[in-house]
């Protein structure tokens, strides 16, 4: 699979690079969090990351003064498995280079996305990138199997917490798996086995051999 850079023009349809942020303090705080033995971990908000000066800057500049949370996704991964979207942009910052597997919400047809539409983008260490609300994404992929990845995740406050309780009124309502989180799962994924909407058709992409 071809792996683009977020500095390539192809990324413009999916997001943009954020400028003027000092990420050093945040990266140091992220490095102190132990890696899982295998797989990936995610926490929506982490106090030690939200204590960093960049937290207020992201809230003010990237989100226009709205309440946000700053958490992390970290571990080891090379597979697509699922794609999700939110009603708002997501900001990612990695302690090492990492790869995002992305597609676009308008490429979903009848509740299903063809995984052939997915593109891979490498994000350099410490570079903040904004992923548009209309961009489908999921767990990052590592570039070094020994090191794994640590990626900060900034989102509006409450995102990825408990799913609201309501009676579904349309098909999209059934894709929601958490607050402000709509999920398309590949049939081979753990999430599909747990009842998530099967919305990915095609190969469950694995970039292991492309690193």
Identify the pLDDT of residue 79: 98
**With the C-alpha atoms ordered 31, 35, 127, 84, is the resulting torsion angle positive or negative?**
negative
The string of pLDDT tens digits covering residues 158-201 is 999 999 999 999 999 999 999 999 999 999 999 999 999 999 99
- What lies within 8 Å, CB to CB, of 147 at 6+ separation is 96
Q: What mean pLDDT is predicted for residues 89-108?
A: 98
- What lies within 8 Å, CB to CB, of 170 at 6+ separation is none
Within 13 Å of residue 114, how many CA atoms lie on the same side as its CB? Answer: 4
Identify the pLDDT of residue 163: 97
Say what percent of the chain tops pLDDT 90: 100
Identify the pLDDT of residue 52: 98
Q: What is the C-alpha to C-alpha distance for residues 99 and 120, in angstroms, rounded to an integer? A: 7
Identify the pLDDT of residue 82: 98
Q: What is the C-alpha to C-alpha distance for residues 82 and 185, in angstroms, rounded to an integer? A: 4
Residue 147: pLDDT band (50, 70, 90) is very high
The mean predicted confidence, pLDDT, of the chain is 98
Residue 81: pLDDT band (50, 70, 90) is very high
Inter-residue contact 207 to 99 (CB < 8 Å) = yes
Give the sheet arrangement for strand 149-156, strand by strand. Answer: 15-17, 129-131, 90-94, 149-156, 68-75, 40-43
**DSSP secondary structure letter of residue 87:** S
For the chain, list the domains and their CATH numbers. 3-210 (2.60.120)
Rounded to 5°, angle at Cα 32 from 58 and 88: 25
* Integer CA distances (angstroms), 108 to 115, 184, 187, 202, in order: 10, 10, 16, 13
Q: What mean pLDDT is predicted for residues 40-53?
A: 98
- What lies within 8 Å, CB to CB, of 34 at 6+ separation is none
Inter-residue contact 72 to 43 (CB < 8 Å) = yes
Q: What is the C-alpha to C-alpha distance for residues 157 and 2, in angstroms, rounded to an integer? A: 34
The residue whose two tokens read 């498995």 is: 81
Residue 128: pLDDT band (50, 70, 90) is very high
How far out from the chain centre does Cα 175 lie?
17
């Amino acid at each position: 699979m071809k792996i683009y850079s977020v500095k390539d023009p192809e990324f413009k349809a999916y997001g943009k690079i954020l400028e003027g942020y000092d990420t050093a303090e945040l990266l140091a705080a992220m490095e102190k969090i132990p890696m899982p033995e295998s797989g990936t971990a995610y926490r929506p908000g982490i106090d030690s990351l939200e204590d960093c000066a960049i937290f207020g800057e992201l809230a003010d500049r990237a989100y226009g003064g709205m309440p946000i949370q700053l958490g992390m996704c970290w571990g080891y991964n090379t597979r697509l498995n699922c794609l999700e979207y939110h009603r708002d942009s997501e900001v990612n910052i990695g302690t090492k280079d990492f790869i995002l597997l992305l597609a676009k919400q308008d490429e979903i047809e009848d509740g299903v996305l063809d995984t052939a539409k997915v593109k891979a983008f490498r994000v350099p260490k410490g570079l903040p990138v904004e992923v548009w609300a209309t961009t489908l994404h999921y767990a990052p992929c590592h570039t070094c199997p020994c090191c794994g990845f640590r990626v900060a995740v900034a989102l509006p406050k409450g995102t990825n917490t408990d799913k609201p309780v309501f009676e579904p009124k349309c098909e999209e309502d059934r894709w929601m798996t958490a607050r402000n989180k709509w999920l398309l799962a590949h049939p081979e994924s753990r999430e599909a086995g747990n009842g998530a909407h099967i919305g990915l058709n095609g190969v469950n992409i694995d970039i292991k051999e492309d690193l």
